[in-house]
Structure 1
Amino acid sequence: MNRNVLIAGGGIAGMAAGFAAARAGWRATVFERAHAFSEVGAGVQLGPNVTRILQAWGLGDALKQVAAFPAGLRARSMNTGEVLATFPLKDAVSNYGAPYVTLHRADLHGLLLQAAAREGVQVHSDSVVQRVHQTPDSVMFDVMQHGQLQHHHGPAAVAADGVWSPLRQQLLGDGLPVFTGHIAYRALVAQADLPLHLRSQDVSVWMGSQAHVVSYPVRGGDYLNVVCLAEGRLLDDDGHNLQALQTWNAQKSEAQTLVELHHALRGACAPLTDLMAACSDWRLWPLCGRPAMQGSHQHAQGRVALVGDAAHPMLPYLAQGAGMAIEDAAELALQLSYAAEDDVPQRLQQFASARWQRNARVQARALRNGQIFHAEGLMRIGRDMGLRLMGRRLMDMPWLYGDEPSV
């Protein structure tokens, strides 16, 4: 059997899929449109449901080299600074068998890229997968590689080409993602450059009205990743500008960004405004998404599986976007390990059936969290009271962290 899986997209989802498939005995070929992988990106939080998989893949030691291990999570009022609730993230190992970690997205990607290279995964940069063709027996990618059209064949393929996935459009034809009305303003600051009272090795969530701020350590705790997520202040006239919405790293003038942040954080307490003032080089990330998954057909079509944001773009309010992509990769590899050439479509349907409901639940919960984090009026009062009374219980999620995806 020709056990070559073709993968469109070399981000976290694609690299995890390639590495996991190689561990399952397949040759994996990854096609990435970028000329080179970039250091630019956001921070990432990985719950024990994800680090458990990375440990099973033999990547636990590599993770320790680049991640931070926050002891706790603090939910705070944006306006008063009051700590509404705390949650002991350090207990993840005893409760769920694996740690809760925070790290830079580029470090997670680099970890997976190095692991994939050790497993013999071929990665082609400057390679745009333009189209996929299927027959009953095989699948073919049309790939523009370094300006030349090439054709690649195999018994299985994976669309891991992100939230704007061209392959999803071809396979499902269900339209483009839509702008959610939310913008992430992201910054990275060296902890050594912060005054002592602003340095932190914990995850902090500051909740207000129509906005919240998250901060957590990355790069072994040497840096603090700071993200303000706000509603209703999108890129002026760019709300319907496809190019603007597709820009991962949009950057405005410093003055314009500060005006928008000031508006989003109006009424914020002094510790939070001090932290935001200490950050510079703010980058914008328009949040675009889709409704929660409706069925297994959105995860696999014939010999092509869809994984990560191509299948189920996640809003960041549950911190599970990268996590669900890695879970996808683990389940995909399990099914491929059992596959014969003639039953690849059936195995991919098994993958889809195993994954779609969990991903739909995480998508829906992330959307709900966004509404809670940005609550106004009586809902905000109820949110804060609920956190004061039952914060630890509300923040623990055994349904998410305790599940055992296949590795």
Structure 2
Amino acid sequence: MTTEQPSVRPKTGVKVIVVGAGFGGLTAAIECHRQGHDVEIYESFPELKPLGDIISFGANAGRIFRRWGVDGEITKKMRAISIDLVKHGFRIHKYTGEHIITQKTPEQDPDAPVFNGHRGELHEIVFNHAKDDLGIPIHLGTRIGKYLEEKDCAGIELESGEQIFADVVIGSDGVRSKARELVLGYFDRPKSSGYAVFRAWFPNTDMIADPLTKHFCENGDTFNGWIGQDVHFLFSTIKNGSDCCWVLTHKDDADIDESWSFPGKLEDVYKVFEGWDPLCKRIVSKTPESHLVDWKLVYRDPLPTWVSKGGRISLLGDSAHPFLPTSAQGATQAMEDGVTLAVCLKRAGKDQIPDGVRTYQRIRYERVKAVQKTGETTRDMWHKADWDKVKEDPTSVQFPREDWIHNFDAEKNAEEEFEENFQHFQTTVNGTRDIIYEDLATLTEGPLVPKQLSAKL
């Protein structure tokens, strides 16, 4: 195991504004700080709250976290509040209750740990690292009215009317990103993915009082799943069994134009469980209804570009590429975005920021697209399971853990891939930068669409 000290490179003179203090925005800010840029974060929420339920970070995220603290102090804090899947594994059941297989989790690489824990609690560790350990200014309660882009700078205008400028603005402002509209040149309406998720996190009080459910909480951390036609149910106990959380993915075609997150109702959850293992309903019945959320899964067609016409505003994370939960990679890929963009800004330098930002997209685009697809393939593997084939090969319903995803080092990849991809934008034709477009008609009829060449996954 290596003991990596936190390091900050020489100052680059590049000033960065990050909009959004989620995992992607915080990572972008922390990595910009590490690479020597001056960075500030603007977030609409007035205060930090430990919201949400379970979130997963693969080894490719753990490798990033590991570089942030002396002797791995950040990862030690995260490990203390995460599920120990190495010890207990993932027990997979048919929807009728039949145990199919227990998927073992391999021993973790200390330099690339895996985390599964409460979103709000893990987020608080990262937030405090950025704010308190590194001193990155985080402006809470600041709503963005619009994004601004000029030839030599970009900025934001707050709802108060105040304008703030920098060399580059990173729009890490989620699935309803205002930056997206500026980047694309049109409003991209979210669509229903055809699925929704009921989700909850609650203390074990009622679980442990019931003889039929107390074993989930008396044996430390556990992770169980039930899979059926168009539905899967994941249930975990965490923090040595003191907390419980579950996620139920099901078909849903509700309109998500106005909102995609609502208070949930237990009676609606019970309807989904008709014909299922009675234990599933019994687990859910221990949930205080005030802790239940009905979350509609947003889908967006792949965006043609993440970068504004002037190259000084960039999308990152969900604002560019929302993931399905079954990928277990949404937040991790946003983190990889932040690492890559920070490296590209450093390598390009203050005088060539637009080409550095475009290089970030060029390096990331194909990998993100491929990882996004795994969310659909995993969901379909469970929801369309052929049970006769599953009997012959129970491993066919194990959660995929693909090396090309988890063994990836975003910082190393960005350093290795930068020059080749950056040079694409340095070619000149009659003294003009050769930014290639798929169709010249888009110059007058719609948003600019940079041509994507294959990048290494």
- Normalised by the length of structure 1, the TM-score is 0.87
Structure 2 counterpart SS, 1:285: strand
Match of 1:54? 65
Q: CA deviation at 1:337?
A: 2.6
Determine whether 1:153 maps to 2:165: yes
Q: Any conservation in 2 of the 1:217–1:225 contact (CA below 8 Å)?
A: yes
Is the radius of gyration larger for structure 1 or structure 2?
A: 2
2:390 to 370, 377, 384: 384
Match of 1:404? 409
Total equivalences in the alignment: 383
Determine whether 1:165 maps to 2:185: no
Q: Any conservation in 2 of the 1:163–1:289 contact (CA below 8 Å)?
A: no
Q: Any conservation in 1 of the 2:21–2:42 contact (CA below 8 Å)?
A: yes
| Change in CA separation of 1:274 and 1:397 when aligned onto 2, cut-off 3 Å | same
| Change in CA separation of 1:341 and 1:73 when aligned onto 2, cut-off 3 Å | same
Stretch of structure 1 that moved more, 121-130 or 210-219: 210-219
Determine whether 1:204 maps to 2:224: yes
Structure 1 counterpart SS, 2:47: coil
1:264 to 236, 252, 272: 272
Q: Any conservation in 1 of the 2:306–2:316 contact (CA below 8 Å)?
A: no
Q: How is 1:6-405 mapped onto 2 (pairs within 5 angstroms)? A: 6-58=17-69, 59-71=74-86, 72-79=89-96, 81-93=97-109, 98-117=112-131, 118-144=133-159, 148-172=160-184, 173=186, 175-191=188-204, 193-195=206-208, 196-199=214-217, 201-218=221-238, 222-232=242-252, 239-240=254-255, 242-245=257-260, 247=261, 250-252=262-264, 257-281=265-289, 282-291=292-301, 293=302, 297-298=305-306, 302-375=311-384, 379-381=385-387, 384-385=390-391, 388-390=394-396, 395-405=400-410
Q: Any conservation in 2 of the 1:102–1:217 contact (CA below 8 Å)?
A: no
5+ residue gaps in structure 2? Answer: 1-11, 209-213, 413-457
In 2, Cα distance between equivalents of 1:215 and 1:368: 21
**Per-residue CA distance 1:237-269 (angstroms, 9 max, x = gap):** xx3353232x3xx114xxxx2221122111111
| Change in CA separation of 1:346 and 1:184 when aligned onto 2, cut-off 3 Å | same
- For the aligned residue pairs, the C-alpha RMSD in angstroms reads 2.3
Structure 2 counterpart SS, 1:194: helix
In 2, Cα distance between equivalents of 1:123 and 1:396: 35
In 2, Cα distance between equivalents of 1:319 and 1:163: 17
In 2, Cα distance between equivalents of 1:276 and 1:90: 30
Q: Any conservation in 1 of the 2:256–2:298 contact (CA below 8 Å)?
A: no
In 1, Cα distance between equivalents of 2:396 and 2:149: 52
Structure 2 counterpart SS, 1:278: coil
Higher RCO (C-alpha 8 Å, min separation 6): 1
Residue identity (%) = 21
Q: Any conservation in 1 of the 2:16–2:169 contact (CA below 8 Å)?
A: yes
Structure 2 counterpart SS, 1:268: coil
5+ residue gaps in structure 1? Answer: none
In 1, Cα distance between equivalents of 2:393 and 2:192: 30
Q: CA deviation at 1:90?
A: 4.3
Stretch of structure 1 that moved more, 303-312 or 202-211: 202-211
Q: CA deviation at 1:57?
A: 2.0
In 2, Cα distance between equivalents of 1:299 and 1:190: 43
- Normalised by the length of structure 2, the TM-score is 0.78
| Change in CA separation of 1:141 and 1:383 when aligned onto 2, cut-off 3 Å | farther
**Per-residue CA distance 1:153-178 (angstroms, 9 max, x = gap):** 11111000001111102211251211
In 2, Cα distance between equivalents of 1:366 and 1:351: 23
Q: What is the letter of the counterpart of residue 323 of structure 2?
A: M
Q: CA deviation at 1:18?
A: 1.2
Q: Any conservation in 2 of the 1:85–1:387 contact (CA below 8 Å)?
A: no
Structure 1 counterpart SS, 2:380: helix
Q: CA deviation at 1:383?
A: 6.5
Q: CA deviation at 1:309?
A: 0.3
Structure with the larger helix share: 1
Q: CA deviation at 1:403?
A: 1.8
Q: Any conservation in 2 of the 1:70–1:101 contact (CA below 8 Å)?
A: no
Q: CA deviation at 1:56?
A: 1.7
Q: Any conservation in 2 of the 1:28–1:121 contact (CA below 8 Å)?
A: yes
| Change in CA separation of 1:242 and 1:160 when aligned onto 2, cut-off 3 Å | same
Structure 1 counterpart SS, 2:112: coil
In 2, Cα distance between equivalents of 1:383 and 1:134: 56
Q: CA deviation at 1:380?
A: 3.6
